[in-house]
Structure 1
Amino acid sequence: MSKRMHNELTISKLTSGDRSAANRIFEISITDAFEQEGLGDLREDIDQEIEGKKELLKSAICGTNPGTFFLLASVEGEAAGTISFGPCGEEIRVCTGGRLNRVGELGSLYVLPQYQNRGIGSALIRSMAGWLNEQEIGQFCLDSGYTRAQQKWLRKFGEPYVTVPDYWGPGNPHMVWLCKVKDYV
């Protein structure tokens, strides 16, 4: 699956040869997200988040987690962003009381800071929705505890399926969205 957009953006299935580039995206983007949220001093949490994404990618590529699928966005041949689809994660299960356990999660949507606000995240979402549609998957869920991401998702996906106030501490909610694939193809 490869799709060329705007003559410079390519989205394709992430392969083992892309693993180090994807890991670099996780390292840079997750660190940046924490810094933008004012949480840059939480190095242990940052490292834990990065390692979790690297392990998820490794298990998807090695076949030990066959239910997880990654796409990679490249701009003029340089890896710029990722997105995944797989079983819903722990926060979604907890925040929804298990109501979305059978709905797959759109996750690992990271775009390098220098490529943000150029439509790459939206292109990744459309490409993943296209793949989900081909698999006859009718819906997906996603979640976020990052304030900046929540604002973007509110504009893109509308009101969340559930919001858990103070999940990450006072004034820091966690939001979960439930979306129809056909709305994003």
Structure 2
Amino acid sequence: MQQIEIRRPEPGDCQELHQFFRSVITDTFAKENLADLVEDIEQEIKTKESYLKIDYDSLGVDRYFLLAIANKQIIGTIEYGPFSRLIHELTQGALQNMVEIGTVLVHPEYQQQGIGSLLLNVLLLSLRNKGIEEFCLDSGYNRAQKYWMKKLGEPDYRFENYWSEGNDHMIWRRQTSDIPVIFKIYQP
């Protein structure tokens, strides 16, 4: 079984993380048949880079990242922080003061192997240890929505055709204690 290390980002990880964001986000847009949305791709990458900077600058207080490492390479990320403006607008502030889990990215070669689940489990344990009992999560990607529905059930908010015809936006609100923490890594 391959060893996966879950750890906080270190200053020397910044450049590799920027490349990781670019690679995975570009791949995600392509798999969603959205590769032509170059400006949106660039904005998504910049957002993830700014979240990482907030983590570094606040030492994990204002944004908190975890990395999955295999063979000395970053293969996955997850983070939590204040909920996004989009969530605030769509829910009309109903999730105010709640943390949002986001930046759940797994390298294409490691998808469908339990890396996202492992990252989520470790982050949920971190949230519970910090006394955070509730979180929200949103997704506008069809493939990711299927994953989150499998993990979290039906979303609490669904905005049909939000991005375009057939492309909804979904938001989940959950208690950290509602999600069973199970460590399971799948072998390809």
Query: Shorter-chain TM-score: what band?
Result: over 0.9
State the distance in 1 between where 2:121 and 2:60 align.
Answer: 23
* TM-score (norm: length of structure 1): 0.92
The answer to whether the 8 Å contact 1:67/1:87 transfers is: yes
**CA distances 1:139-184 after superposition (whole Å, capped 9, x unpaired):** 1110000000001111111010100112112221100001221224
Q: Report the count of equivalent residues.
A: 180
Corresponding residue number in structure 2 for 1:165: 160
Give 1:66 shift.
3.4
Percent identical residues: 39
Counterpart among 76, 80, 83 of residue 85 in structure 1: 80
* TM-score (norm: length of structure 2): 0.91
State the distance in 1 between where 2:2 and 2:29 align.
Answer: 32
Counterpart among 2, 22, 25 of residue 30 in structure 1: 25
Unaligned runs of 5+ in 1: 1-5
Corresponding residue number in structure 2 for 1:74: 69
The answer to whether the 8 Å contact 1:87/1:105 transfers is: yes
Corresponding residue number in structure 2 for 1:3: none
Corresponding residue number in structure 1 for 2:120: 125
SS in 1 for 2:163: coil
State the distance in 2 between where 1:39 and 1:179 align.
Answer: 29
**CA distances 1:103-142 after superposition (whole Å, capped 9, x unpaired):** 1000000011011111000000000001001001111110
State the distance in 2 between where 1:153 and 1:65 align.
Answer: 25
Instruction: Return structure 1 stretches of 4+ with deviation > 6 angstroms.
Output: none
Give 1:14 shift.
1.5
